[in-house]
A and B are shown apart, each in its own frame.
Chain A
Amino acid sequence: MIGSRNYWPIAAAVIAALSAIVVLPAIYDEYSLLQLTIYAILSVLALSLAFIWGYGGILSFGHAVFFGLGAYSYAIGAINFGETTIALLLSMVIPGLFAAALGYFLFYGRISDVYLGAITLTVTLIFFNLASSTSGPEYRVGRVPLGGFNGIPSIPQLNVPGFPDWTLSTTELFALSVATLALVYIGLRLLINSDFGRIVVAIKENEVRAELLGYDARKYKLVTFVIGGAIAGLAGCLFANWGGFTSPAVFALGQSVQIIIWVVVGGVGTLAGPVIGCVLIQWLTNSLASLNTVNNNLIMGGILVVVVLMLPQGLVPTIARLARGRRPVQRLDAATKGLGGASTKSEARA
């Protein structure tokens, strides 16, 4: 699968996105469309971690930090400037720059995988606390008060670049989110098939060997991390648009954990898997929340345990192998690299 030169997934993504954009708004009312929009937005977020973890071998336990920074950057930019084009760019540039700074210390400091997880986790918690303690009127950027735990309300909708009055309708935001998802998927697929992508995968496979060949692993990991950060920021921008407000909850631990669960359930080392994992988990979460009979988190936890034990490679790789008529080979690959001992143990039991 890795290094595959097949371009049919790209064609499939284009067709799926186009038909979703054309057909779904004709079938569903605005409320349902809004529900579907969030699936697309969170899928973009899932893709960003799918790329840096599944292909770059970098497991960020605090990936939500880039998502949150994207949401806040967009909110602050959009309210300050009125026109949203710069805000949209900021929502990618600022998380990207932050990923570059953080990644520089992580990769050039040769921080090992476990500590990388701990540090990224801590960073997102710091942001959660920082954002939560900005409730006073003195905490403002430009003319936007950060709002502490309540966050920033009344975020303007994206407008068509150059036309401040032409803001996106619910249907248009849905179309934009689906198109973004498709474009991010296609972009990442092309990147993975490029020479750069093949080198990134090689470094994940064996960093020592890659360096013995003359590849500067630090540089490649940093670029991978920055790309992932910028994409997560873009998802944050769409998220701020979707809800019209943003709060420190975007930096919360649960948010980061959720992204990891999507990727684990869908399959580390694939792009389609985490998208499917994200949609499935979010749909389950929503359905369970409306039941109100059992604790939501309890069931989610149960599902995660079952998936990790029964399908250690995740849904998509398992189905792909079954479709090819082979038993899933339980090899220690990308998942082990990030999860360390935990996943090794679970695979041994499975």
Chain B
Amino acid sequence: MTNPPLVETRELSVHFGGLKAVNHVNFSVCDGELRCLIGPNGAGKTTFFRLLTGVHAPTSGTVKINGRSIAGLQTHQIAKLGVGIKTQIPSLFDNLSVHENIWLSARRNHGRAAANQIADRVITEEVGLGEYANTEASKLSHGQRQWVELGVVLAQRPKLILLDEPAAGMTGSDMEKTAELIKRINRSSAMIVVEHDMEFIKRIAKTVTVFNRGEVLVESDVDTVLADERVREVYLGKRMGQRHDIGA
């Protein structure tokens, strides 16, 4: 291959005491891809996500972003490799306005000359929060806060975006808007989305990686994965499989 994958893990493991939370995971995502990570609770997907973002250090194995190992890098240095991260609970500058939140993101990555213009475009066109530009982030609803954070990540114009449960706590139209937003963002950035809401996965997913007990169980396109017997088994448990038909 001429281009290295955008993200690549080799034999990545992390052990907490005797618990092998992530065990010999080989994983890669290429430019422009949209990858969903799913798995039952405790499967290791969030831990894996944290290894990618440098929150946890691996016990063994490597994580490379853009061909560069992230071992020993600080959070801000990983961000500078072109990685945008959205945490599970919206992490915003709560007492600052929506515009200030997104401006701060654009300012870091595009310099002061372009920052205002990019911030304006992200707010009005990309996340559609124009009327809230001067509202304090803390005064917005849960869904709106999620979109502000997506806007913050977008304004970085990162090559790779990592999203941890972007639809958590969302229902109906909010979830729909978030799915649309993610698809649109994916036109310019590769994405890795950790999610366990099946409805949401079906809306956005192309390729899905299923985690179970710290290992990759299956990795394939969304329909194949959802039809897979082993996935149904680990995801819903044998007894529950009848009631919750995830293959639909």
Contacts and interface: CB of A to CB of B under 8 A. Distances in A.
A binds B: yes
Interface of A: 2-3, 195, 198-199, 201-202, 205-206, 208-217, 331, 333
B104 A333 contact: no
Contact count band on B:
20 to 34
B91 A213 contact: no
Contacts of A199: 104, 107-108
A212 B96 contact: no
A214 B95 contact: no
Interface string B67-106: 0000000111001100011010001111111001001110
A205 B85 contact: no
Given A2-B96, A3-B97, A205-B96, A210 B104 contact: yes
Nearest to B90: A209
Given A201-B96, A213-B105, A206 B91 contact: yes
A214 B97 contact: no
Contact of A214 (B91, B94, B108, B112): B108
Name A's interface SS: helix
Contacts, number: 69
Contacts of A201: 96
B109 interface: yes
A215 B108 contact: yes
B152 interface: yes
A202 to B, nearest CB: 5
Contacts of A217: 76
Contact of A3 (B76, B91, B100, B152): B100
A206 B94 contact: yes
Contacts of A211: 74-76, 79
Nearest to B79: A214
Nearest to B75: A211
A214 B156 contact: yes
A338 to B, nearest CB: 15
List of 6 A-B pairs having minimum Cβ-Cβ separation, nearest first: A214-B79, A205-B93, A211-B75, A209-B91, A211-B76, A214-B80
A208 B94 CA distance: 12
Contact of B91 (A198, A212, A216): A212
A212 B79 contact: yes
A195 B100 CA distance: 11
Given A195-B107, A199-B104, A214-B156, A206 B79 contact: no
Contacts of B92: 206, 209
A198 B104 contact: yes
B52 to A, nearest CB: 13
Contacts of B76: 211-217
Among A2, A201, A212, A331, the one with the most B-chain Cβ atoms within 10 Å of its Cβ is A212
Nearest to A201: B96
Contacts of B97: 3
A15 to B, nearest CB: 29
Contacts of B156: 213-214
Contact of B96 (A3, A214, A215): A3
Nearest to B112: A195
A205 B96 CA distance: 8
Nearest to B111: A195
A216 B156 CA distance: 15
Nearest to A199: B104
Nearest to A3: B100
Nearest to A216: B76
27 contacts: A3-B96, A198-B100, A199-B107, A199-B108, A202-B93, A202-B96, A202-B100, A205-B94, A206-B93, A206-B94, A208-B75, A211-B74, A211-B79, A212-B76, A212-B79, A212-B84, A212-B85, A213-B79, A213-B108, A213-B109, A214-B80, A214-B156, A215-B104, A215-B108, A216-B74, A216-B76, A331-B95
